[in-house]
Amino acid sequence: MVGLERNSCEVVTAAFYFGDYCIMGGSSSSHVPKEDLAFLLANTTFSKAQIKQWYKGFMRDCPAGQLSRQKFLEVYSEFFPGGNAEEFCEHVFRTFDADNGGTIDFKEFLLAINITSSGKISDKLNWAFSMYDIDGNGTIEKAEMIQIISAIYRMVSSSDREAPQETPEQRTERIFIQMDKNKDGVLTKKEFIDGCLADNVLCSMLTANSSNDV
């Protein structure tokens, strides 16, 4: 089985807290714009001090205040040296980039980190649904799920891992049999969330959670 070492946002969180992306120390500004600070205090679980720490690290690595696709991919690739993270990174980047501006600003970044690290499973599943719903039409089609699962396989593949026992197509078919209650060939947000809540293993796999098999 192919095991995912971390979920998608744990990778980004670690990258901005540790190693070359360490938030603590350095000379980056921690002066968050007042409007952004007020918004993030009202819409995340982070304290004022935590927001300032995140901002300091974000601005150190993104002095222009925008996280580019290329920088995002660099962060991801460091955590998956044995595989190809580019395609999966694109999907995560798209989900972070709430306004579809082509870059991630600090508010978008911290909102996404908050959702995926808050511990609220409903928030995490809503975020995961947005990633699988590639075209943003409010449902997940089989082709979309196959695309995401294929990207996950490529990202975690390496010579010292066993090959997955199911193809992306086989895995998607199994998921749809379990989740698609009205058998219309697509998953609504309710079907996706209800299906995940009813099956912890499936939930962990679809949210790419740590220490679980893909």
Cα distance between the two ends of the chain: 7
Closest listed residue to residue 152, CA positions, set 208, 200, 112, 199: 208
What band does 130 get if pLDDT is binned at 50, 70 and 90?
very high
The partner residues of 105 in beta bridges, in order of sequence, read 66
Task: At 4, list the tokens.
Answer: 């995912």
pTM of the complete model = 0.76
CB atoms within 10 A of CB 108: 18
Q: What is the mean pLDDT of the chain?
A: 80
Least confident of 105-114, 124-133, 149-158, 172-181: 149-158
- Of 162 and 18, more confident: 162
Place of tokens 């999966």: 88
CB atoms within 10 A of CB 31: 11
- Of 61 and 34, more confident: 34
Q: Is the pLDDT of residue 47 over 50?
A: yes
What band does 214 get if pLDDT is binned at 50, 70 and 90?
very low
Q: Which long-range contacts (CB under 8 A, 24 or more apart) does 131-136 make?
A: 131/8, 131/91, 131/92, 131/94, 131/95, 132/192, 132/206, 134/91, 134/94
Q: Is the pLDDT of residue 75 over 90?
A: no
Full set of structural domains in the chain with CATH: 3-213 (1.10.238.10)
